[in-house]
Amino acid sequence: HYAKQRRLLLPNWYSAIECLKNGVGVGYMPRHIAMPLIHEGVLVEKLLQDDKPLSRCCLVWRKDDDHKLIQWMVDYLGSPNQLHQDWLQC
């Protein structure tokens, strides 16, 4: 996000969509979620310049759960090399 820009973190896409539909904020969302809402006229797509700001990724999980899949995901996504290779390349 841009410097000095306030962020609102939401727990799920339903909450994010409701905020955007009601004019609370501007955001990115996966195309497969956005396109039906754009076609229905619920949301408006805006194109950005090529020099987009860096966007941080937040991972949240329950601390009391000791689950191997969660640990794998945290280790996998926490690796800068893996993150750039799999998630940030077009």
pTM score, whole prediction: 0.51
Cβ proximity of 65 and 56 under 8 Å: no
User: pLDDT-based confidence at 76, cuts 50/70/90?
Assistant: confident
Q: What is the pLDDT of residues 3-51, one digit of tens each?
A: 676 777 888 899 999 999 998 888 888 888 999 999 999 999 988 776 6
User: pLDDT-based confidence at 89, cuts 50/70/90?
Assistant: low
Please calculate the CA angle 6-8-11 and round it to the nearest 5 degrees.
160
Cβ proximity of 1 and 56 under 8 Å: yes
